[in-house]
């Protein structure tokens, strides 16, 4: 809180608290303090919105890099915790580049997939940057119907759908070969997170890839001591669980927990601490088991005869 609280803290002010209690004013002072706190927060929020309106107008005039409209600032705030279009756009650039970089270091390319799902697409912070991809069909899903409607109306190169928090997708089994979820599992309880990893696995093709981000050690160091100790011991730590699925819920995933629990039954292709530079989160690149092996004919179409002959142990 930016202004001086009416309820003082510290040992030197304990006498003031005792006096307020003695004269029956302490509870009233607490209520007034909270009310002023709310007024301050409301004024601060209003100022941020007004300031962002001027910034956004200037930025929109000077930048039309992708020739797509920007969502209203209130929607931008829901997915980035800031109101400015510049941060929204540039964080999307960083997010897509992080995806490309981590795929590349695992000999994968975004445009080689056939169908891609942005799980937790919000108002298109990431998916808008795929509009020029040639080949893959693009999909986005989110539980916030308002954000999905905006995407469907303004990002015509992709298909969007609303999902509930508890009942899963309407998509058929094995629909996608690449799914990414950026800062989605970071707002889920353990039960919800495990439900959704099973659901993502259901709609992922055999051999398909998942790019998932988690708040790991770097972010968890800000936890209070007892929660940090739980994290350090390999336990999932969730705060604000009553708002599961919302921004007030924060989940911190130790690497060990993701490997042993979240990724159970999946192949861990890569782990990159702080690899998601847009969200300042760790990245796990996972693969669904059961990929169909390439036949020799498929290899011949892809590789020169000399390479294929060496692979199967015969000289041409």
pLDDT at 304: 43
How far apart CA 140 and CA 116 sit, in angstroms, is: 8
| Cα–Cα distance, 144 to 184 (Å, whole number) | 13
Specify the pLDDT at position 314.
32
CATH number of the domain enclosing 191: 3.40.50.150
Which one, of 261, 213, 218, 257, lies nearest residue 237 by Cα?
257
Token reading at 149:
């409607």
Q: What's the rounded Cα separation, in Å, for the pair 29 and 262?
A: 47
Please state the domain count of the chain.
2
Q: 141 exposed, middle or buried (CB, 10 Å; 0-12, 13-18, 19+)? A: buried
Spatial distance between the Cα atoms of 208 and 138, rounded to a whole number of angstroms: 15
Query: Domain range for residue 48?
Result: 11-62
299 domain-assigned? no
The C-alpha atoms of residue 126 and residue 110 are separated, in whole angstroms, by: 13
Beta strand ranges found along the chain (DSSP E): 115-119, 137-142, 159-162, 176-181, 204-214, 237-239, 250-252, 266-276, 281-288
Distance CA 87, CA 93 (A): 10
Task: State whether 42 and 183 are in the same domain.
Answer: no
Indicate if 16 and 136 belong to the same structural domain.
Answer: no
Residue 81 burial (CB count, 10 A): 9
pLDDT in tens, 48-96: 555 555 565 566 666 666 789 999 989 999 888 888 888 899 999 999 9
> What pLDDT, on the 0 to 100 scale, is given for residue 109?
97
pLDDT confidence of residue 45: 54
The predicted model scores a pTM of: 0.77
Residue 82 lies in a domain: no
Q: Does a structural domain hold residue 296? A: no
Nearest to 137 by CA among 207, 68, 205: 205
pLDDT value of position 44? 43
Report helix angle 14-22 to 26-62, nearest 10. Answer: 120
For the stretch 52-56, contacts whose Cβ atoms lie closer than 8 Å and that sit 24 or more positions apart, written own/partner, are 52/82, 52/83, 52/84, 55/84, 55/85, 55/86, 56/83, 56/84, 56/85, 56/86
Domain co-membership, 106 together with 44? no
Taking alpha carbons only, the member of 124, 136, 63, 133 closest to residue 88 is: 124
If asked whether residues 15 and 93 sit together in one domain, one would say no
Do 17 and 127 lie in a common domain? no
With H, G, I as helix, E, B as strand and everything else as coil, classify residue 57. Answer: helix
Residue 196 lies in a domain: yes
CB-based burial label for 12 (10 Å; 0-12, 13-18, 19+) = exposed
With a cut of 50, list the residues of the chain below it in pLDDT.
1-7, 11-12, 40-41, 44, 47, 292-316
Does one domain contain both 197 and 51?
no
What's the first-to-final CA gap in the chain, in angstroms? 76
- On whether both 133 and 204 belong to a single domain, the answer is yes
Look-up of token digits 């709310």:
38
Q: Are residues 94 and 212 in the same domain?
A: yes
Structure-block tokens of residue 183:
């800062």
Quick one: 38 and 111 in the same domain?
A: no
Measured in whole angstroms, how far is the alpha carbon of residue 73 from the centre of its chain? 19
Strands 137-142 and 237-239: unpaired
Q: Examine the domain organization and report whether 176 and 123 are in the same domain.
A: yes
Query: Is residue 68 one of the residues assigned to a domain?
Result: no
- The DSSP bridge partners found for residue 180 are 118, 211
Q: Evaluate whether residue 67 is within a structural domain.
A: no
Per-residue pLDDT, 26? 67
> Looking at residue 254, what is its pLDDT?
98
Same domain, 135 and 278: yes
Instruction: Report the side by side order of strands in the sheet with 176-181.
Output: 159-162, 137-142, 115-119, 176-181, 204-214, 281-288, 266-276
């Amino acid at each position: 809180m930016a202004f001086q609280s009416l309820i003082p803290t510290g040992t030197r002010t304990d006498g003031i608290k005792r006096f307020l209690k003695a004269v029956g004013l302490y509870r009233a002072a607490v209520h007034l303090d909270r009310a002023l706190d709310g007024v301050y927060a409301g004024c601060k929020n209003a100022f941020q919105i007004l300031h962002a309106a001027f910034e956004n107008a200037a930025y929109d005039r000077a930048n039309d890099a992708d020739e797509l409209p920007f969502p209203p600032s209130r929607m931008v705030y829901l997915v980035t915790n800031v109101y400015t279009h510049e941060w929204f756009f540039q964080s999307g650039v960083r997010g897509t580049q992080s995806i490309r970089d981590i795929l590349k270091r695992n000999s994968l390319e975004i445009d080689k997939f056939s169908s891609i799902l942005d799980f937790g697409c919000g108002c298109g912070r990431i998916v808008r940057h795929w509009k020029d991809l040639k080949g893959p069909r693009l999909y986005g899903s989110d539980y916030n119907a308002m954000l999905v409607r905006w995407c469907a109306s303004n990002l015509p190169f992709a298909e969007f759908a609303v999902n509930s928090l508890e009942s899963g997708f309407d998509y058929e089994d094995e629909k996608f070969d690449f799914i990414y979820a950026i800062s989605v599992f970071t707002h889920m309880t353990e039960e919800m997170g495990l439900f959704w990893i099973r659901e993502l696995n259901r709609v992922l093709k055999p051999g398909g890839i998942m790019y998932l981000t988690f708040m790991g050690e770097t972010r968890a160091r800000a936890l209070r001591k007892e929660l940090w100790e739980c994290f350090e011991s390999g336990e999932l730590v969730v705060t604000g669980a009553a708002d599961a699925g919302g921004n007030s819920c924060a989940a911190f995933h130790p690497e060990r927990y993701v490997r042993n629990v979240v990724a159970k039954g999946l192949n861990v292709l890569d782990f990159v601490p702080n690899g998601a530079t847009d969200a300042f989160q760790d990245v796990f690149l996972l693969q669904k088991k059961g990929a169909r092996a390439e036949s020799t004919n498929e290899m011949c179409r892809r590789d020169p005869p000399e390479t294929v002959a060496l692979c199967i142990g015969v000289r041409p």
